[in-house]
Amino acid sequence: MKAKARAHTNIALIKYWGKRNETLFLPMNSSLSITLDRFYTETSVSFDQEMTKDQFYLNGELATDQEQEKVSVFLSKIRRYTGVDSYARIESDNFVPTSAGFASSASGYAALTAAAVKATGIELSLKQLSMLARQGSGSATRSIYGGFVEWQKGQHEDGSDSFAVPILEQGEWDLRVLAVEVTTQAKKIFSREGMKRTVETSPFYSGWLETIERDLAALKQAIVMRNFTKLGETLEANALKMHATTLGATPPFMYWQSETFQVMEVIQELREDGIEAYFTIDAGPNVKVICEPRNESVIIDKLTQIDTVNHIYTCRVGPGITYLDR
Ligand code: 2P0
């Protein structure tokens, strides 16, 4: 009744932005991401008949009551699905620098799902794992797989067709993702709250939904053709559109800071000089730059010259979930 798993973070090229069902984590739109090799979470789960409640240790320490509660609620969904009724000890280690602006919830809930299900002894498909991970955190749906991954929003209101599908395996297209960490005093609006406010109040949200299928189709075609220019133009435009929806919300908010703009401008300058690089931004001020391997060092050199850039993490396309010895 014990198992350990590793799952990697991912970066969305077509963003998940908005839920149509908050309990089942059903998204308003489909999304598409690259799983990253560099950042991951390792989690072990051990079910124990003797325990009277779940115990969650994060990075070696007993987690806060709030974190315990969240994990326990999620584990109960897995208990219901698998029919296992005992509590568990959960030990999770994050190898994700939160300062780089990668949510550890994607790798965290994907690793927890894989470890917990394996510990029950029940065999589930990756598709089933993806649907379970979704109910911990939306972006975790995609982290079950490596490579390029689509999370199909599905049509059914029971969530039975909302899961991830692998588009390209790790190794089928060698791209780089540079996570550019900027100096910041961010006041954080968590993505969960930000997307909810946007869906409920932003008049621009309908525009987001209107164009998402077109963006997704263009991006998938770019992947099939290995057309980097088309991939880059599509992903950058999609990120800008997501952020535009926040400006129309009530009250309005934005994730960008002046440091964010500096990085965006440098990427545009690089393109004017014939160096292809494109950016995407999540629910925070840091920027992720997508490029081909041959341009990686010149782009890093240029970004390093910005004095508000703290650190640049270079990521490659990463693997899906793996199981580890205890
Ligand atoms: C994404 N984000 O596609 C989008 C783009 C942030 C911006 O998924 O509420 O932590 O747990 O489902 O997955 C971050 O949101 O939100 C996210 P929940 P999650 O990567």
Q: What is the mean pLDDT of each run of 10 residues along the chain (326 residues)?
A: 97 98 98 98 98 97 96 97 96 90 92 98 97 98 98 97 98 98 83 97 98 98 98 98 98 96 98 98 96 98 97 98 92
Q: b/e string for 100-114 if b means 16 or more Cβ within 10 A?
A: bbbbbbbbbbbbbbb
Same domain, 128 and 185: no
Domain boundary among 172, 206, 228: 172
Same domain, 184 and 103: no
CA 305 and chain centroid, separation: 28
pLDDT at site 240: 98
Same domain, 146 and 185: no
Nearest C-alpha neighbor of 31 from the set 193, 220, 292, 172: 220
322 inside domain: no
Same domain, 51 and 81: yes
Same domain, 28 and 167: yes
325 inside domain: no
Is the beta carbon of 137 within 6 A of some atom in ligand 1?
yes
Question: Whole-angstrom Cα distance, residue 141 to residue 238?
Answer: 20
Question: Whole-angstrom Cα distance, residue 91 to residue 199?
Answer: 35
- Alpha-carbon Rg for the chain in angstroms: 19
Nearest CA to ligand 1 atom 17: 139
Question: Whole-angstrom Cα distance, residue 18 to residue 26?
Answer: 9
Is the beta carbon of 25 within 6 A of some atom in ligand 1?
yes
Question: Ligand 1 mean position to 44 CA, how many Å?
Answer: 23
pLDDT at site 183: 84
Is the beta carbon of 40 within 6 A of some atom in ligand 1?
no
70 inside domain: yes
Domain boundary among 143, 172, 201: 172
Which ligand 1 atom is at minimum distance from the Cα of 139?
13
Nearest CA to ligand 1 atom 12: 138
Is the beta carbon of 68 within 6 A of some atom in ligand 1?
no
- Phi, psi angles (nearest 5°) of residue 30: -70, 160
Which ligand 1 atom is at minimum distance from the Cα of 10?
20
Q: Which residues are within 8 A (CB) of 134 and not within 5 positions of it... i.e. 6 or more apart?
A: 24, 25, 140, 141, 151, 159, 162, 163
Q: Which helix (H) or strand (E) holds 94?
A: strand 87-95
pLDDT at site 188: 82
Is the beta carbon of 142 within 6 A of some atom in ligand 1?
no
Same domain, 186 and 63: no
Question: Ligand 1 mean position to 138 CA, how many Å?
Answer: 6
Same domain, 195 and 295: yes
Alpha-carbon separation of residue 82 from 124, 162, 173 (angstroms): 9, 19, 36
Same domain, 82 and 188: no
Domain boundary among 152, 172, 192: 172
Q: Which residues are within 8 A (CB) of 319 and not within 5 positions of it... i.e. 6 or more apart?
A: 8, 35, 37, 146, 170
326 inside domain: no
Which ligand 1 atom is at minimum distance from the Cα of 31?
3
Tokens of 81: 């699905």
Domain that holds residue 52: 2-172
Same domain, 95 and 213: no
Number of structural domains (the chain) is: 2
323 inside domain: no
Q: What is the CATH number of the domain that holds 6?
A: 3.30.230.10
Question: Whole-angstrom Cα distance, residue 19 to residue 28?
Answer: 5
Same domain, 161 and 197: no
Mutate to test the pocket of ligand 1, among 29, 74, 148, 282 (most ligand atoms within 8 A of CB): 282
Same domain, 139 and 221: no
Question: Whole-angstrom Cα distance, residue 142 to residue 144?
Answer: 6
* SS3 state of residue 169: coil
Same domain, 45 and 88: yes
pTM of model > 0.80: yes
Is the beta carbon of 194 within 6 A of some atom in ligand 1?
no
pLDDT at site 185: 72
Question: Ligand 1 mean position to 314 CA, how many Å?
Answer: 21
**What is the four-CA torsion angle of 292, 298, 299, 300, rounded to 10 degrees?**
110
Contact between 225 and 202 under an 8 Å Cβ cutoff? The reply is no
Question: Whole-angstrom Cα distance, residue 37 to residue 23?
Answer: 30
Q: How many residues are there in the chain? A: 326
Give the ipTM of the model, two decimals please.
Answer: 0.98
Nearest CA to ligand 1 atom 5: 15
Nearest CA to ligand 1 atom 7: 282
79 inside domain: yes
Mutate to test the pocket of ligand 1, among 16, 21, 29, 41 (most ligand atoms within 8 A of CB): 16
Is the beta carbon of 283 within 6 A of some atom in ligand 1?
yes
Q: What is the CATH number of the domain that holds 286?
A: 3.30.70.890
268: Cα within 13 Å, side-chain hemisphere: 8
